[in-house]
Amino acid sequence: MPPLLQLQSISKRFGPIQALDGASFELDQGEIHALLGENGAGKSTLMRIAYGLEQPDAGAVVIEQVPRRLRNPTAARRLGIGMVHQHFTSIPAFTVAENIALAAGWDPARARLAERVEALAARCGLPLDPQARAGDLSAGLKQRLEILKALAGEARILLLDEPSAVLTPSETREVLALLRQLRDRGVATVLITHKLDEALAVANRITVLRHGRVVFTGTTEGLSAGTLARYMLGEDPPPRPARPRPVPGETVVESRDLAVRRLGPAGSGLRRATLTVAAGEVVGVAAVEGNGQRELLRAVAGLATPSGGHLVCRGTVAFIPEDRSHEGLIGDFTLTENAVLAQGRPAPWLRGTWVDWSLARRRTAALISDFKIQAAGPEAPARTLSGGNQQRLVIALALERNPQILVAENPARGLDLKATAEVLGRLREGAARGLAVLVYASDLDELLEVSDRVVVLANGVLESLPPGADRELIGKTMLAGGAALSP
């Protein structure tokens, strides 16, 4: 049987970065094909080309043996290709049916809309109430809605970009089961992921990209996670950070029944959190997006005002925000300017209000070399740094303030395996030197790796877990809250 989708020798360059360099990819009918790679390996770019969101510099897109030029996603959809993006793209205030109509270009006013949506759900084997408001759906059901949106029309090719990024382990399993079910109904799926176990669990075939080139394509049988990791990295995976047993020091963060009104347009806010963090320990916060973690972390960092309860922080608090390019740094400022801004007062380069820029430059240069930040120099604009180097800089600036408390919001978001290991290692090192660390990570594996102790936020209520809680129990608590903990 001829392949359904062929991407032939695709090259794509963004400014100085060669995102894809002659990459080829094939998708057969009725298969799940995992596309693996580190962040920046080019996997999303390749699929954006297949979906008409980007145009290749060279190479061809062939669908069912016919070469095509996909000028935009509408063209791709017409040819039976649907894509599920990494983040939910539904409108919370709209119903399921309205969201699907919006994505598929159906008339939302038609009386037959609900019927049509139900038929779609039945065809795909993904039941979903057409009248439910998208904002009320659980994360797993939202993902289901995203898939239905992608499959509306007559899509037979589904491109799925990192579906587990915002899901708990059990929700991820649910989605993977859905993919198998869709495969049985004749939908071919490309699963973009950097998680080896997901790829091994569900894919028939695996393709690995590294630096824009395909380094491996083959059937899943006989593959091990170790082999795949070596393909992805081009070397052995980095060792896990050594973890000396923490010597719990005195308690430096203490909250009782802390409540904080929600900061974003959605989410529960923080409703009740009783928590302590001691010097020298790393406390991890596990939560599905929008369950109060942002409010908890920002309250401890002094960036959000509690609406109830008590909060005491003894010492300087340094904060690593999730969105480093918009909150952690000012992209148009030089590294030195960012350092002076982040350090504030007191600082070695300040004489009263006067800034001694040459001293600030020298100190920044020292920081750059200490933290192995790849930058043109202290006078380079921060936006010219890669994501990993920006995060190194944000962490360096946070630690430079000699804090007693470090609050880190998803510090390894979007980083590759090596940079992730390094960032988590920095947090462990800080704890070993007596820093109290409070960290949230959307990736449960990362969180378990770095934390001495995990607490869970579900619907804004903080639950402490018994020692030695495994990821199953954590995942259940993330969804069900305290109910999962009662025997």
Partner 1 sequence: MNVLARLGLPLAAVGIGILVLVAGLAASGYDAFDALGAMGRGAFGSADAVLSGLLPRSVPLILIGLGLGLAFSAGALNIGAEGQFYTGAIAAAWVGGRVVGLPAPVAIPAALGAALAAGALWAGVAVILRRRFGVLEVITTLLLNFVAEALVSWMVQGPMQEARHIYPQSDPVAPSARLPLVPGTRLHLGFGFALVLALLGWVVRNRTLWGLRLRAVGTNPRAAAVAGRVRPARFFAQALVLSGAMAGLSGGVELTGVSYALYQNLSPGYGFSGIAVALLARLDPLATVATGLLFAALEAGAAGMQREAGVPAVAAFVVEAVVILVVLLADVARRRAAPAAAGV
How many whole angstroms separate alpha carbon 155 and alpha carbon 13?
A: 29
Nearer to partner 1, 245 or 345 (CB): 345
From 66, 186, 265, 354, residue interacting with partner 1 (rule: CB under 8 A): 354
Nearer to partner 1, 16 or 186 (CB): 16
Name the residue type at position 270. L
Q: How far is the CB of 63 from partner 1 (least distance, A)?
A: 25
How many whole angstroms separate alpha carbon 43 and alpha carbon 191?
A: 10
Q: How far is the CB of 378 from partner 1 (least distance, A)?
A: 15
Nearer to partner 1, 87 or 383 (CB): 383
Rg (CA), the chain: 24
Q: How far is the CB of 333 from partner 1 (least distance, A)?
A: 7
Nearer to partner 1, 14 or 72 (CB): 14
Give whole-number Cα distances, 149 to 6, 226, 283, 358, 484, in Å. 23, 35, 38, 56, 32
Q: How far is the CB of 357 from partner 1 (least distance, A)?
A: 8
- Displacement of CA 213 from its chain's centroid (Å): 23
DSSP notation for 425-461? HHHHHHHHTT-EEEEE-SSHHHHHHH-SEEEEEETTE
Name the residue type at position 250. E
Strands 308-313 and 461-464 come out as unpaired
Residues 176-205 that bind partner 1 (CB under 8 A): none
The region of 11-19, 251-259, 423-431, 468-476 touching partner 1 under the rule CB under 8 A is 11-19
Nearer to partner 1, 200 or 330 (CB): 330
- Nearby residues of 353 by Cβ (< 8 Å), 6 or more positions away: none
Whether the CB-CB separation of 349 and 400 falls below 8 Å is answered with: no
Residues 371-390 that bind partner 1 (CB under 8 A): 383-384
How many whole angstroms separate alpha carbon 11 and alpha carbon 46?
A: 9
Does position 394 interact with partner 1 (CB under 8 A)? The reply is yes
**In the structure, how many helices (H) and strands (E) does the chain have?**
15, 21
Whether the CB-CB separation of 269 and 457 falls below 8 Å is answered with: no
Using CB under 8 A, count the residues that bind partner 1.
35
Give buried/exposed letters for 108-122 (b at 16+ CB in 10 A, else e): eeeeebeebbeebbe
Nearer to partner 1, 124 or 394 (CB): 394
The mark string for 395-434 relative to partner 1 (x by CB under 8 A, - otherwise) is --x-------------------------------------
From 4, 7, 19, 35, residue interacting with partner 1 (rule: CB under 8 A): 19
Q: How far is the CB of 326 from partner 1 (least distance, A)?
A: 6
Nearer to partner 1, 274 or 386 (CB): 386
Give buried/exposed letters for 149-168 (b at 16+ CB in 10 A, else e): bbbbbebbbbbbbbbbbbbb
Q: How far is the CB of 274 from partner 1 (least distance, A)?
A: 26
Q: How far is the CB of 288 from partner 1 (least distance, A)?
A: 23
From 1, 16, 235, 242, residue interacting with partner 1 (rule: CB under 8 A): 16
The mark string for 266-305 relative to partner 1 (x by CB under 8 A, - otherwise) is ------------------------------------xx--
Q: How far is the CB of 273 from partner 1 (least distance, A)?
A: 21
Nearer to partner 1, 160 or 407 (CB): 407
The Cα diameter of the chain in Å comes to 76
Residues 64-123 that bind partner 1 (CB under 8 A): none
**DSSP tag of 118:** H
The mark string for 314-353 relative to partner 1 (x by CB under 8 A, - otherwise) is -----x-x----xxxxxxxx---xx-xxx-xx----x--x
How many whole angstroms separate alpha carbon 104 and alpha carbon 90?
A: 12
Q: How far is the CB of 305 from partner 1 (least distance, A)?
A: 12
How many whole angstroms separate alpha carbon 46 and alpha carbon 191?
A: 12
Q: How far is the CB of 90 from partner 1 (least distance, A)?
A: 25
How many whole angstroms separate alpha carbon 474 and alpha carbon 454?
A: 8
Q: How far is the CB of 314 from partner 1 (least distance, A)?
A: 18
Q: How far is the CB of 7 from partner 1 (least distance, A)?
A: 18
How many whole angstroms separate alpha carbon 85 and alpha carbon 64?
A: 24
Does position 59 interact with partner 1 (CB under 8 A)? The reply is no
Q: How far is the CB of 170 from partner 1 (least distance, A)?
A: 32
Nearer to partner 1, 244 or 352 (CB): 352
The region of 288-296, 354-362, 425-433, 460-468 touching partner 1 under the rule CB under 8 A is 354-362
Nearer to partner 1, 45 or 143 (CB): 45
Describe the crossing of helices 225-233 and 417-432 by its angle, rounded to 10 degrees. 100
How many whole angstroms separate alpha carbon 434 and alpha carbon 281?
A: 8
The residue ranges that bind partner 1 (CB under 8 A) are 14-17, 19, 40, 45, 302-303, 319, 321, 326-333, 337-338, 340-342, 344-345, 350, 353-355, 357, 383-384, 394, 397
